[in-house]
Structure 1
Amino acid sequence: MSPSAAAIARWSSTAAGTRRNGACSNWRPRLNPNDPAPQNERRAALALLLRSAMPEIALLKRASLWLVLAAALEAAGPALGKAFIDHYLLPRNADLPAIAGLLGGALVSGCLASGIRYGQLVRLAGLAMRSVQRIREAVYGHVLRLPMHFFDRAITGQLVSRVTNDTEAVKTLYVQVLFVMLDSLITLAGMMAMMAWLDWRLMLIVATLVPAVFGIVWLYQRLSAPAVTRSRALRSDLNAQAAESIAGMAVIQASGAAAAFSARFADTNAAHYAARHDELRANAWLLRPALDFLNVAMLGAVILVFSQRSGAGLSALEVGVLYAFVSYISRVVEPLIQITMQFSQLQQAMVAAARVNTLLDEAETLPAQDHGEVGDGAISIRQLDFAYLPGRPVLHGIDLEIAAGSFVGIVGHTGSGKSTLLSLLLRFYEATPGALLIDGQPIDQLGDAAFRRAVGLVPQEPFLLAASARENIDMGRGLGDAEIEAAARAAFADGFIRRLERGYDTPLGEGGARLSVGEKQLIAIARALAGEPKILFLDEATSHIDSETEGVVQQALAGLRGHVTVVAIAHRLSTIRDADEIVVLNHGRLAERGRHAALMAIDGGLYQRLVQLQQLEALDEEEDEQ
């Protein structure tokens, strides 16, 4: 089973230079904006659509049967008209009851056909909505399970576009294309069968419409497919640029870059317009106008054949057949027009489905088997080597023992490997087997659920939902009020939360807009503590907060000592001054380790230089303020 099939069935970085250039170098978008989707992508997209509709297959079969009945009722109309001409109009047979029966039959059959089609459209629309709901949930759930290195290279706006815009385009396939094409094909088959019953030779003439239409569709696909693919890719780029600009609006305005960003967006928008224009030009030439011409040509051909076959005049029987064929031709051409008119939507839906399928084919993080539980939270690092790319190691032979309940700080210059080590400890990347152990168990053998319950993370940039303080601390875990408030007190966040107008139920705004940076970080610490972790990781959690809030964080960390293993990556060295052990990394190697006083005693040591450098920076800031 392919990754996408499995998905349907189950439905940042400090070391930026290393991680972003190496971590996900094997990931590339598979759809070239300038080329049509490859045939294997189209087949995979079609398979995705079929799988999503598979739970509704019984409904689809019933709807098809009802549409067959509707097509038969519609095909009966011209046949009844032929009978009226042949038996009553031309012979001047004024049998009113019989005529009334024919007219009533035509009226009833037309009304029933329309009613059946309406009912099946509603049923198929329901099928469409449920199928797209399954696809959208599958894509979102799949994104949540993707490994972290995927997000090192992925663009947020493009991912959002695939989850929303592309799945919405797939809905169009079900709602419009599926119903129209299914109904049109059944109607076409019914009309051709009736024409064959009336005059099979004339039916063969009308049947030449079908290959002509397929030729138009083939030409349309060749001309429009690149434009459709390009326009959808460029739409994703527009979404990505808009999301990126909104997220960084303060920096854009402060640096006077608004004009440059506006020009870049305008260029992408112009390219999107050009792609859409190419697509619409193909539509204008090859869809309705070409088929209208075929309709007129076919009608002329049938009349010409009648005239040649009948000689000087037409018999009454031939006049009735002529009427029926003229009526059937218009009803045959209309389904063909409807089918070809839907090819534009079909093309877009197939491109969108291919893009969704490409995302679903990204390999998920395989969950570890539940072989063990985290006990006290002791961490062992043994001869740890790691490289994002072969031949470019980032960590070299790291050996470190972190006792349960201890407080360990990790420091070093930018690019020294601090964030990489933390990512490995968080299982965002796979370490060398046996190099990382928790309570003596290899980290890759701990069950996912057990590991995530036992580990808490406070990131450098606090992530807050546009929700209440209570929801931000709970984070969907279903914690009780007492647990949430206890965690807030442990993080020293309870006081300012209660001062909000609605306390814990106060909406914090998007990204916690109503809070200061320090308050956001305390909420993030409370969230991490609410799960009662055995191990707490802090990724430069105090780098953007003021000294007063840093003191509060230090108080919170002091309260955890002896109960929770704390590993803190620190840019601000005062945060880890009282740590049980400070580990200094340099170019991926363990350079120094010890307590603050012992490291400061190493004359010319790396840690000593880091502390002195920060003290000089602090003095410079004080002088600037004065």
Structure 2
Amino acid sequence: MLAPPSAGFRRLLPLLQPHRRSLVAGWLCTLVFVVCWPLLAWLAGQLIPAIGAGDFNRVLQVVGLALSVFLLQKLAQFGQDTLLADPALQVSQELRRRLFARLQRLEFGALEKLSSGDLTYRLTEDADRVGEVIYKTIQDTTPSALQLMVVFGYMVWLDWKLSVGTLLLAPLVAVLVSLFGARVMGAAERSQKQVSELAALLAEAIGGLPLVRAFAAEPWLQRRFDTEIDLHRRARYRTQQLLALQYPVVGFLEAAGILAVLLMGAARIQAGELTGQGFSSYVAALLMLIDPISHLTTNYNEFQQGQASLRRLRQIEQEAVEPPDRADARALGQVHGELVLEGVGFGYDPAQPVLQDLDLRIAPGQVVALVGPSGAGKSTLFSLLLRFNTAQRGRLLLDGQDLADLRAAELRRAVALVPQQSNVFSGTVAEAIAFGRPVSREQIRAAAQLANADGFIEALPGGYDSRVEERGSNFSGGQLQRLAIARAVLGDPAILLLDEATSALDAESEQAVQRGLDQAMAGRTVLVIAHRLSTVQEADRIVVLEQGRIVDQGSHDLLISRPGRYRDLCERQLIRGAS
């Protein structure tokens, strides 16, 4: 459950602790900046009568003092803004860094609930808005509040009765600002939700434009986009409408308040209870309250919008993360590649198991194909082997050690995945293969040669330093898949998981990729997910899964020679040898 909104930003205060020195120096500058305001108000009270009396020497003297105070104040303001800006920006950066780190540790079930467009918006726009609120709170809101207190204190010292009359107007302004702020926060949340949905649609649309054109569905997509941007416009307009109404209402009250003060001041001068010089200083001080009140009003609205953004960011914190290694987790050591499943059961919803009572032994160096209809549990078994999820019943053993007892990072270095869709990160070709691992260029080249990728890489204008664009758009599907294979075998894993690694390729590309796979598979334990059964006929063993259970297993020749689920699948795909 989320904490109350007011508690949200307080939880970020510990992030300011490392920046105490800059904050103290900045707030000392703020103190000097604020103290200058009553001095300037007092000088204004001295200046106006001197001008009225035609005392030019006195005017010069007061103007010189005022310029000195202004110079000191502006130097203090520069120090305040520069010294306080860095801690605020550091907090914003640390917040975004922590959120991204948590995002990388989210359970995959939680990740699947969140759209990429929405997550992108939260980690960019929402995080920026929260950072802006932190910055303005430190650098603007606090000085403005101090300015209000100091200047109003000076006004009380000048004439407390007049100040009491002035103060009576403040609660009305505060109530209005609070009411508007609550409405602005609600409108901002709705607006941010619409922006997230628009970002999600854009991500889908940009990635699916070829498909849209193939189906001549541009009018349908345009209508969806038009609807989303219209909803976004309405949500943003509602927020702007509330702000547009607030400023004139509060501004009118401020103007009415100033006029009321002028009337009360005139009455007190006439009664002999206040001098003209004192009233001049009082009015100057009163005018000095307008700017901080305006800043506080604006910042309060932004604070409310920041609350909405912080709430959305904190929703990421509420999602379940991958459990950490046990305190007594063991090092993996030398891996031979024997896999054993003992009564393994798992379900994303415990009431609906995906895998049930799996018993399987895979010898080191064996190639085992997993076949069966969609939803049979093949990909879920891969997620258990990579410990993306943990078995709820039974055990998975690697060389006799329970996967749950091992360090996850070491396990994942020993078990490499080649996914169906090659997700190759942008950067150079060498960086895409290395994938953040500290390896030499010779190791990268050896992995590429093993994946049958060295030839096309060397033919590129920049070789291994050629650029891989976003989503690998400047490479063919077969080339990307071979880069993915090179990335997988670079760490010399003992176990290789192939998830339909050639299913999306044309015949020529598939042949090149298959050569790379054959080389990469040599001497490793390999599990292959395949829907196209023609690609797994040479496997040492084929395991047939259905509704989370192993219903049959054996070689291709054995399984196709007898009635059963595998033979049925082969007949549907016109595999030769089926009777």
- Could you tell me the TM-score, scaled by structure 2's length? 0.93
Q: What is the CA–CA distance in structure 1 between the aligned matches of 2:303 and 2:261, rounded to whole Å? A: 32
Q: What is the CA–CA distance in structure 2 between the aligned matches of 1:426 and 1:543, rounded to whole Å? A: 22
Q: What is the CA–CA distance in structure 2 between the aligned matches of 1:165 and 1:617, rounded to whole Å? A: 56
**Aligned residue in 2 for 1:498:** 458
Q: What is the CA–CA distance in structure 2 between the aligned matches of 1:521 and 1:544, rounded to whole Å? A: 10
**Aligned residue in 1 for 2:573:** 614
Instruction: Tell me whether 1:396 sits opposite 2:356 in the alignment.
Output: yes
Preserved contact between residue 269 and residue 276 of structure 2 (Cα < 8 Å)? no
**Aligned residue in 2 for 1:81:** 44
Tell me the CA shift for residue 245 of structure 1.
Answer: 0.5
**Aligned residue in 2 for 1:69:** 32
**Aligned residue in 2 for 1:328:** 285
Closer, same or farther: CA 108–547 of 1 in aligned 2, 3 Å: same
Preserved contact between residue 584 and residue 593 of structure 1 (Cα < 8 Å)? yes
Instruction: Tell me whether 1:59 sits opposite 2:22 in the alignment.
Output: yes
Q: Identify which range, 116-125 or 181-190, moves more after superposition.
A: 116-125
Q: What is the CA–CA distance in structure 2 between the aligned matches of 1:505 and 1:308, rounded to whole Å? A: 82
Tell me the alpha carbon deviations over residues 176-221 of structure 1, each in whole angstroms, 9 at most, x when there is no partner. 4542211211111110111122112222222234322211211112
Preserved contact between residue 453 and residue 531 of structure 1 (Cα < 8 Å)? yes
Instruction: Tell me whether 1:436 sits opposite 2:396 in the alignment.
Output: yes
**Aligned residue in 1 for 2:243:** 283
Preserved contact between residue 295 and residue 329 of structure 1 (Cα < 8 Å)? no
Tell me the CA shift for residue 84 of structure 1.
Answer: 4.8
Higher relative contact order (CA 8 A, sep 6+): 1
Tell me the alpha carbon deviations over residues 447-466 of structure 1, each in whole angstroms, 9 at most, x when there is no partner. 02211211100000011122
Tell me the CA shift for residue 122 of structure 1.
Answer: 2.2
Preserved contact between residue 53 and residue 127 of structure 1 (Cα < 8 Å)? yes
Q: What is the CA–CA distance in structure 2 between the aligned matches of 1:244 and 1:343, rounded to whole Å? A: 36
Preserved contact between residue 344 and residue 396 of structure 2 (Cα < 8 Å)? yes
**Aligned residue in 2 for 1:623:** none
Counterpart selection for 1:382 from 339, 342, 345: 342
Tell me the CA shift for residue 164 of structure 1.
Answer: 0.9
Tell me the alpha carbon deviations over residues 129-181 of structure 1, each in whole angstroms, 9 at most, x when there is no partner. 22211112112111111121122221010011111111111232134454221
Preserved contact between residue 85 and residue 320 of structure 1 (Cα < 8 Å)? yes
Q: What is the CA–CA distance in structure 2 between the aligned matches of 1:171 and 1:99, rounded to whole Å? A: 45
Closer, same or farther: CA 52–260 of 1 in aligned 2, 3 Å: farther
Preserved contact between residue 404 and residue 565 of structure 1 (Cα < 8 Å)? yes
Tell me the CA shift for residue 425 of structure 1.
Answer: 1.5
Aligned partner letter, 1:42: P
Closer, same or farther: CA 439–616 of 1 in aligned 2, 3 Å: closer
Preserved contact between residue 184 and residue 336 of structure 1 (Cα < 8 Å)? yes
SS of match in other structure, 2:12: helix
Q: What is the CA–CA distance in structure 2 between the aligned matches of 1:252 and 1:514, rounded to whole Å? A: 21
Aligned partner letter, 1:322: F
Q: What is the CA–CA distance in structure 1 between the aligned matches of 2:7 and 2:341, rounded to whole Å? A: 43
Aligned partner letter, 1:61: V
Closer, same or farther: CA 304–515 of 1 in aligned 2, 3 Å: closer
Aligned partner letter, 1:333: I
Q: What percentage of residue pairs aligned between the two structures are identical?
A: 33
**Aligned residue in 1 for 2:378:** 418
Preserved contact between residue 497 and residue 504 of structure 1 (Cα < 8 Å)? yes
Tell me the CA shift for residue 616 of structure 1.
Answer: 6.4
Aligned partner letter, 2:12: L
SS of match in other structure, 2:331: coil
SS of match in other structure, 2:505: coil
Q: Identify which range, 371-380 or 548-557, moves more after superposition.
A: 548-557
Tell me the CA shift for residue 384 of structure 1.
Answer: 1.3
Counterpart selection for 2:332 from 373, 385, 402: 373
Q: What is the CA–CA distance in structure 2 between the aligned matches of 1:273 and 1:558, rounded to whole Å? A: 55
Q: What is the CA–CA distance in structure 1 between the aligned matches of 2:511 and 2:266, rounded to whole Å? A: 100
Tell me the alpha carbon deviations over residues 363-387 of structure 1, each in whole angstroms, 9 at most, x when there is no partner. 3212223313052121111111222
Counterpart selection for 2:301 from 344, 359, 366: 344
Q: What is the CA–CA distance in structure 2 between the aligned matches of 1:507 and 1:191, rounded to whole Å? A: 60
**Aligned residue in 2 for 1:537:** 497
Superposed CA RMSD in Å reads 2.4
Aligned partner letter, 1:615: L
Instruction: Tell me whether 1:318 sits opposite 2:272 in the alignment.
Output: no
SS of match in other structure, 1:389: coil
Q: What does 1:171-186 align with in structure 2 at a 5 Å threshold?
A: 171-186=131-146
Aligned partner letter, 2:568: R
Preserved contact between residue 581 and residue 595 of structure 1 (Cα < 8 Å)? yes
Q: What is the CA–CA distance in structure 1 between the aligned matches of 2:357 and 2:254, rounded to whole Å? A: 77
Preserved contact between residue 434 and residue 442 of structure 1 (Cα < 8 Å)? no
Preserved contact between residue 370 and residue 528 of structure 2 (Cα < 8 Å)? yes
Instruction: Tell me whether 1:306 sits opposite 2:265 in the alignment.
Output: yes
Counterpart selection for 1:580 from 529, 532, 540: 540
Tell me the CA shift for residue 541 of structure 1.
Answer: 0.8
Tell me the CA shift for residue 549 of structure 1.
Answer: 4.1
Counterpart selection for 2:527 from 542, 567, 578: 567
Tell me the alpha carbon deviations over residues 511-566 of structure 1, each in whole angstroms, 9 at most, x when there is no partner. 22232222211111111000110111011112112344444444444445562111
Preserved contact between residue 125 and residue 174 of structure 1 (Cα < 8 Å)? no
Q: What is the CA–CA distance in structure 1 between the aligned matches of 2:514 and 2:198, rounded to whole Å? A: 44
Q: What does 1:165-176 align with in structure 2 at a 5 Å threshold?
A: 165-176=125-136
Q: Identify which range, 155-164 or 122-131, moves more after superposition.
A: 122-131
Aligned partner letter, 2:228: T
Q: What is the CA–CA distance in structure 2 between the aligned matches of 1:514 and 1:404, rounded to whole Å? A: 38
Closer, same or farther: CA 363–264 of 1 in aligned 2, 3 Å: same
SS of match in other structure, 2:353: strand
Q: What is the CA–CA distance in structure 2 between the aligned matches of 1:106 and 1:193, rounded to whole Å? A: 20
Counterpart selection for 2:12 from 36, 49, 56: 49
Q: What does 1:155-304 align with in structure 2 at a 5 Å threshold?
A: 155-287=115-247, 289-304=248-263
Preserved contact between residue 149 and residue 429 of structure 1 (Cα < 8 Å)? no
Q: 5+ residue gaps in structure 2? A: none
SS of match in other structure, 1:372: coil
SS of match in other structure, 1:382: strand
Preserved contact between residue 365 and residue 525 of structure 2 (Cα < 8 Å)? yes
Q: What is the CA–CA distance in structure 1 between the aligned matches of 2:29 and 2:477, rounded to whole Å? A: 62
Preserved contact between residue 415 and residue 497 of structure 2 (Cα < 8 Å)? yes
Preserved contact between residue 417 and residue 588 of structure 1 (Cα < 8 Å)? yes
Aligned partner letter, 1:614: Q
Tell me the CA shift for residue 594 of structure 1.
Answer: 1.0
